[in-house]
A and B are shown apart, each in its own frame.
Chain A
Amino acid sequence: MKTVKTVLFIGLFLMSGFAGATALSSFAFDSKEEEQAFRELAAKIRCLVCQNQSLADSDAELAGDLRREVYTLWKEQKSEEEIAEFLVARYGDFVLYDPPMKPSTYILWFGPFFLFLIGCYVLSRALKSKTEDKEVELTQEDQQRLKSLLKDDNDNREITK
């Protein structure tokens, strides 16, 4: 079973490489570094048709068109910011995997830290009350009840044996 999994994993891993290669193979690059840089840029852009894929991976037609568009801009020596601006002006922030920080995305950026702080507060309070409640004095009545309960428990254990 383990070997089957390993073979599957390696197979899929290799195929995933091919998928990326076909998506970008239609473009001409001067060097390996250039291709790598373009691939990294395309990986930051979301394909709007299959939303969990980046522009570097998607085989959707629109992704192909946008890749060509981004490639043209890139070849014109446009900066990454300019390319992002071009895409955001048409498709909105959603097209970028890395959302920009602005009032409408504050909750996205700071929400987790806020929740973390709440968690810290709750945890510290819980720990504090635990240490404070260590000593509990039992009344005579409680002691009696506790004893009888423990005794019952022992009896049961003997019965189940």
Chain B
Amino acid sequence: MSDQSQTPGRMRYLIPLFLFLIMAGFLFKGLFMDPRHIPSVLINKPVPEFNLPTLFDPEKLVSTADMKGKVWLLNVWASWCAACRAEHQVLNTIADMGIVDIIGLDYKDEEADGKRWLQQLGNPYKEVLVDKSGRVGIDFGVYGVPESFLIDAEGVIRHKFTGPLNYPDIKGVLIPKLNEIRGVER
């Protein structure tokens, strides 16, 4: 009998249990992960080029270049989006706080519905851009509404919020990120 090939004691019977616990740990963590949350590849990349009409004045066009030099939050929303309704109060709060300019992107929406929405719920946006075809949404890698992008003065995307913004996000993510952006830029 060769003794050295045997793992000493009863420990070897614990190996399967140990492996099981590692797997169970990963699977348990998986329960709380959202498969819909896909990390954006656009973080730290320049904002995609766009040139879009605004909701309240279709003659007026806003392009990527117009936003240079400003820190801004691009919020992709639509009047047909249920989660956007919950988010809207949070956007109103951010606008009231005056910590960052919010630009809305009305995504694949009817202009009349979009206008009515803002009349009913308030307008937190400095400007609302209309992306009727959804083409600009594709360039931003939008795959669901709402989504929000935090963009610095150099026109670089610094953070992406997938899904509706909530109140804890303001203090927990938005303000620290804004400080980071403005601190670096100064």
Contact = CB atoms under 8 A, between A and B. Distances in A.
Interface of A: 48-49, 51, 61-62, 65-66, 69, 88-92, 94, 125, 128-129, 132-133
State the 5 A-B residue pairs at the shortest beta-carbon distance, nearest first.
Answer: A48-B143, A90-B141, A92-B41, A65-B134, A91-B141
Contact residues of B: prevailing secondary structure: loop
A102 to B, nearest CB: 13
Nearest to A136: B1
Contacts, number: 47
Contacts of A69: 135, 138
Contacts of B64: none
A132 B2 contact: yes
Interface of B: 1-2, 5-6, 35-36, 38-42, 108, 133-135, 137-144
A62 B143 CA distance: 7
Nearest to A89: B41
Contact of B38 (A65, A94, A129): A94
Given A61-B108, A89-B41, A49 B143 contact: yes
30 contacts: A48-B38, A48-B143, A49-B143, A61-B108, A62-B142, A62-B143, A62-B144, A65-B134, A65-B135, A65-B137, A66-B138, A69-B138, A90-B41, A90-B42, A90-B138, A90-B139, A91-B38, A91-B41, A91-B141, A92-B38, A92-B39, A92-B40, A92-B41, A94-B38, A128-B5, A129-B5, A129-B6, A132-B1, A132-B5, A133-B1
